[in-house]
A and B are shown apart, each in its own frame.
Chain A
Amino acid sequence: MGIFKQREREIFDLMASSSEVGGSSADYETMMSTSDVELLKRAWRNEKAAPEILQYEGALVERAKEQIELVEETIEDYVENGKDPLLVSLYQMDLDRTQFLLRSYLRVRLVKIEKFMFHNLKSEEAERRLSEQERVFATKCADDLVKHFEETVLLKLPENYQSVLKQSQISEVDDMVPQPHLDTFVVCRSNNFVSLNLYEEGESPETVEMERGDLYFIRYKIVKGAIESGQIDLI
């Protein structure tokens, strides 16, 4: 009976401390700083829902990696010391969830880079949002694809039509670059009171006002700036 009660208390402590910042009793220290996990979750959700690539959260990723390593070591320690296997697998599950978040965040970004590789390298705004390694990846990806195009199609075509980015020498701009659709509708929730312009500058200045906690189904273009500044979250 006593053993069960003690286990119950331990498990309860575990559950309780993983939902509040700052850990709780016994020899259990908070697994991953919960605010970091929350930030990672928010970054992941935003990245998944947005049609274009968002700013790389470098510091967050670094912190997350360090903490994951730390927890992995702790778990190994516990396993070797024969700590309660139920506790260990709970730690393990929490770790798995966080690792999944991190991996999925990086994956979603890579997929977006692959999809819009030429656009990302051309637009300065997009380039600024990539991490150093992502930029290297994007350049290599683009080079590979250009080489592939050239060998399969372009070198067999007549001279003025051999460019990857332009339809022909006569085109004035690079008209063969696919661009992200900033007009897609997204679901978002506001964190503060926000008032946004519905139309471009110079046209009729209709605004939409969002209270804190309101859900809106709106075009991405309109909320783009507010997402960057953290006032609005995508869902």
Chain B
Amino acid sequence: MYGRKGYQLLKDFASGEKGQLKPFNSKLFDETIEECDQNHHLLQSLIRKMQQEDLDVPNNRNADHYGALIHHLSLMRNKRCLMAYVYNRAEIVRDLAWRVGLELLDLPSEIQEKLTSLEKEYFKNHSVALKSYMGKVGIELNVDMVPPKDPYIKVRILDDIDEGIVLSDKTTNFARHSMHFLKRTDAEPYIARGQMEELTD
């Protein structure tokens, strides 16, 4: 049945958790594109048939016309399904740029596996757009995502960060599981990446 593969593709997307990506389903994707091709060939052959019978193609309403119409509609539906799939994944990719960070390498590897190389390209391009905007406006826009309550918060380190951290007012050695009292703006990027967690009690 025409359109079933497109439907399955979208169901696959929807069955993931909201806001989370599943690995790009290339198999279904390519099959849907093949179906589009098929539809197009059949569409063209039907139109040619009508032309050979010397019928007025746009206005004549016979069985072939309706056959061609079905192929056309199926093609459009598949196109919409495919574009919806790509568009929704791109939306999640943009969301990742906001939440986690603008560098591709900052994304945890589980997420990187699920993106195709084209999506990674898109992520990079989008980061460039965001960075250039932030540069022109002169304000960093991906810190301070939560309204500030306390300037300092308690955090516990989850990953081994060691020496790689730059703080605005002190330098500390960050061993795993140690707890520190940091400025919120300093800790935010690490919390977003999952390397620290905030202790609220």
Asked if B181 lies at the interface with its beta carbon under 8 angstroms from chain A, I say no
Cβ of B148 and Cβ of A110 under 8 Å apart?
A: no
Interface residues of A in 139-164 (CB under 8 A from B): 140-141, 144-145, 147-149, 151-153, 156-158, 161
Please judge, given known A-B contacts A133-B137, A158-B36, whether A144 and B80 are in contact too, CB under 8 Å.
no
Cβ of B33 and Cβ of A140 under 8 Å apart?
A: no
Please judge, given known A-B contacts A103-B139, A106-B139, whether A141 and B75 are in contact too, CB under 8 Å.
no
- Smallest CB–CB gap between B176 and chain A, Å? 29
Cβ of B144 and Cβ of A65 under 8 Å apart?
A: no
Please judge, given known A-B contacts A96-B148, A99-B144, A168-B75, whether A149 and B86 are in contact too, CB under 8 Å.
yes
A32 CA / B47 CA spacing, docked (Å) = 71
Interface residues of A in 62-100 (CB under 8 A from B): 65, 89, 92-93, 96-97, 99-100
Asked if A127 lies at the interface with its beta carbon under 8 angstroms from chain B, I say no
- Smallest CB–CB gap between B86 and chain A, Å? 5
Interface set of A (CB-CB < 8 Å, partner B): 65, 89, 92-93, 96-97, 99-100, 102-104, 106-107, 110-111, 114, 133-134, 136-137, 140-141, 144-145, 147-149, 151-153, 156-158, 161, 167-168, 170, 176
Interface set of B (CB-CB < 8 Å, partner A): 33, 36-37, 40, 72, 75-76, 79-80, 82-83, 86-87, 90, 94, 98, 116, 118-119, 121-122, 125-126, 128-130, 132-133, 136-141, 143-144, 147-148, 151, 184-185
